[in-house]
Amino acid sequence: MALIGVFDSGVGGLSIWREIVRLLPQHDVLYVADQAHVPYGHRPLEEVRRFAEGIARFLIGEGVQVVVLACNTASAAALHYLRAVLPQVPFVGMEPAVKPAVQNTQTGVVGVIATPATFQGELFASLLERFANNVTVLTRVCPGWVEAVEAGMLNTPETEALVRSCLEPLLEAGIDELVLGCTHYPFLRPVIERVVGPGVEVIDPAPAVARQTGRVLAARGAGPSRGPARRRFATTGDPERFRAMLSRLIGVDAQVEPLRWTPGGLLERVT
């Protein structure tokens, strides 16, 4: 029986969760949101790495066969490290989808939006080195977007103003590809598409992450769960708030398990 562990700082990773469940409906999934620490994007990489390690150890303790970092920031901070210190399970990480954007652009200018920490990590530097070629890759951080999604302000005039002020410089620079480099941003897609208009392709890597998760499970020979697949959700924040967001963002009604951080940096169930 395969159990897939998925985590993010908050609700953003649910944009990955829904693709995983669509593609791999036969597997159990345990989703952890570290809402005690959201947002991750402004924190030092070492701190995000510690959180990611605590969550990964918790998920491994719960018996997962694969851990999906449904968070670009945690991937930038911790993916290589987690693979080195926890070799017993495979990790699927994320990086902004620069490659398809560079392949598809007609204007030769692409935009990548993500958190400050994602742009600082080595992963992003190596992406540019490998794929940017002769294309101009413009990066932009988007203040307030993660907080707006966490607060459920998905399609309000305030959110549209935040989105517009962040994207306008990219539009003026002539982008025709926009890479969503943070898993919270797909929940703002209707507003983003309204702001950028039909001439800009918006790229969300979630389906590619789900496919990669499927390949990793297949390589491990992981079979489907016996009986109906279980979907578990847990948060280090407020379970009732998270439950309301589950229904709002992905149309799921489920119990949410409370988790807490120990002073030693371990994650444990609140019983």
**Is 142 a residue of the active site?**
no
Q: For residue 43, how far is the Cα from the chain centroid? A: 16
Give the integer Cα–Cα distance in Å for 11 and 14: 6
Token reading at 22: 């669509």
Whichever of 112 and 229 has its CB closer to ligand DGL, that residue is: 112
Give dist(CA 156, CA 230) in Å, integer.
Answer: 34
Catalytic residue among 11, 71, 76, 229: 71
Query: Which is nearer to ligand DGL, 2 or 6 (by Cβ)?
Result: 6
Q: Which residues contact 221 (CB under 8 A, 6 or more apart)?
A: none
The Cβ of residue 125 has, within 10 Å, a number of other Cβ atoms equal to 12
- State the nearest-atom distance from the C-beta of 182 to ligand DGL, in Å: 4
Structure tokens at 131: 């794929």
Instruction: Tell me which amino acid residue 246 is.
Output: L
Least separation in angstroms between CB 216 and ligand DGL: 19
CB atoms within 10 A of CB 237: 20
* 71 catalytically annotated: yes
What are the residues binding ligand DGL (CB under 6 A)? Answer: 8-10, 12, 38-41, 71-73, 115, 118, 146, 182-184
Which is it for the CA torsion 177, 182, 188, 190, positive or negative?
positive
Q: How far is the CB of 174 from ligand DGL (least distance, A)?
A: 26
Residue placing its CB nearer to ligand DGL in the complex, 90 or 186: 186
Q: Could you tell me if 235 and 244 are in contact, meaning their C-beta atoms sit under 8 angstroms apart?
A: no
- Residue closer to ligand DGL, measured from CB, 21 or 52: 52
Q: How far is the CB of 11 from ligand DGL (least distance, A)?
A: 8
- Of 6 and 217, CB closest to ligand DGL: 6
- Measured from the CB atom, the residue of 2 and 11 that comes closer to ligand DGL is 11
Given its phi and psi angles, is residue 97 left (phi above 0), alpha (psi -120 to 50 degrees) or beta? beta
In whole angstroms, how close is the CB of 229 to ligand DGL at the nearest point?
24
**Structure-token pair, residue 260:** 């807490």
Q: How far is the CB of 28 from ligand DGL (least distance, A)?
A: 23
Q: Which of 29, 30, 182, 192 is catalytic?
A: 182
CA–CA separation, 160 and 139 (whole Å):
20
Cβ contact 188:82 at 8 Å = no
Q: Using CB positions, name the residue nearest to ligand DGL.
A: 41
Among 243, 169, 176, 171, residue whose Cα is nearest residue 203: 176
Residues taking part in catalysis: 71, 182
